[in-house]
Amino acid sequence: MHLFPVAFVGLLQGWNAAQDFVVRMEKKSSAVSGFYKLDWKKRVEEVASFSGLTEPQRKLLMEGKPLGFAVADKITENAISVHSLPLSIATNFIVNGKEVLVPMAIEEPSVVAAASNGAKLCRETGGFSASADPPVMIGQIQLVGAKDAAASAKRLLDSKAEILKFAEPFAENIAKYGGGLRGFSARVLSTARGDMVIAEFHVNVCDSMGANTINTILEGVAPKIAEISGGNVRLRILTNLALMRMLRATAIWKKETIGGEAAVEGILDAWAFADADIFRAATHNKGIMNGIDAVVLATGNDWRAVEAGAHAYAAFGGRYTSLTRYRKLPNGDLQGEIELPLAVGTVGGAIRSLQSAQVALSILGVKSAGELSCVMASVGLAQNFAALKALSGEGIQRGHMELHARNVAASAGAVGKDADIIAGQMVKEKNISASRAEELLKQVKEG
């Protein structure tokens, strides 16, 4: 298949390879019809052509072994092997007017399918519009033992200019790239152990996630903070609740495209449930993070930090609630929005060591951490919309089990077309089990 609307496919038959490539580059689209039906090699070829991957990057994808043990042994402690996850592609995404194929590292097929479907259904309204705040992270220094915590905090605030000047040498590395110190504050925190003073630095970390940068600055400036405050330094660490690094994405789904007024009302009711009930909100937000985490993993970022920040933000107003919001527009269409902190990078961390992460970033074609975050937020919204649409309609189990059947067939030892045949038969029989897969595989092999 070619990377543009299916209507054009017939017009291109018979063109030579050079003409075909030119047209694909001029009209490239992430709406790849039947992508899941292509064999492995053709999928890689489609993605490579769309994203302009180098030959070594193509080879890396085809080999299916992106991380050698020698590298793994350097990245982590006590390594004994390499644990792999499938690297999939979510299709149909348009983010801020740009066609995007989205790499997702995840073992659950329904997540990739749902994200692709959610994106497909809003293509006619322009896809997703997203924006990212400047990449400013917050680092905290905990001070205990001050005789008067309020007076201690005031001394720090009064010395703000002096403190920031003292901290500059520790921020030199990031300042070279246009980042660096952006602010300082101090506050009193009442705890079970008594009043503490929390000094906070605001740092623009550019295209990195920022943990190492922040922690270096905090450890360097801590003695000065202790001297001025009269307290004892304890923790010096960034916070993953990156409230100064927020992401927002929005999309509109036409009511006619998603099933009419009844579908719109169903989605609104499903969202209102999550907005009001913590038990539903937990699963609602978990579904959002299914999509976001898969992109975070594919690009070599810290999914644990992203998860922590997202769920903390969901409870920031005093109760745990939905990360998304939906409303019906005057014309009856559905608008969805998502807002959450997203601290990710395109440089630093394990990204340099993980070749597969570099390939994933090349597939995305992003030029900055902010652009990457916009894609992630859009994926989260697409994922959530698709889940709410399914849940408020026929339910998720049918589609989930149809995709799950392929996993069961593969677990029984079926490969290629045999796996598809066996999965299809189990779905038809409504009997998706390992024992039935083994029986069917035996029948297929016997002819």
| Catalytic residue numbers, as ranges | 108, 286, 302, 400
Distance separating alpha carbons of residues 222 and 230, to the nearest angstrom: 12
Contact of 345 with 214, CB cutoff 8 Å: no
**200 CB contacts (<8 Å, ≥6 apart)?**
138, 139, 140, 141, 184, 185, 186, 187
- Per-position b or e across 322-335, b if 16+ CB within 10 A of its CB: bbbebeeeeeebbe
Tokens of 352: 């340099």
Distance separating alpha carbons of residues 438 and 442, to the nearest angstrom: 6
Distance separating alpha carbons of residues 217 and 223, to the nearest angstrom: 11
Beta bridge partners of 220: none
Distance separating alpha carbons of residues 184 and 163, to the nearest angstrom: 8
**364 CB contacts (<8 Å, ≥6 apart)?**
51, 100, 101, 102, 103, 299, 372, 375
Distance separating alpha carbons of residues 293 and 377, to the nearest angstrom: 10
Distance separating alpha carbons of residues 357 and 378, to the nearest angstrom: 19
Distance separating alpha carbons of residues 87 and 56, to the nearest angstrom: 17
Distance separating alpha carbons of residues 34 and 395, to the nearest angstrom: 23
In the DSSP assignment, the letter for residue 83 is -
Closest by alpha carbon to 247, among 370, 139, 122, 422? 370
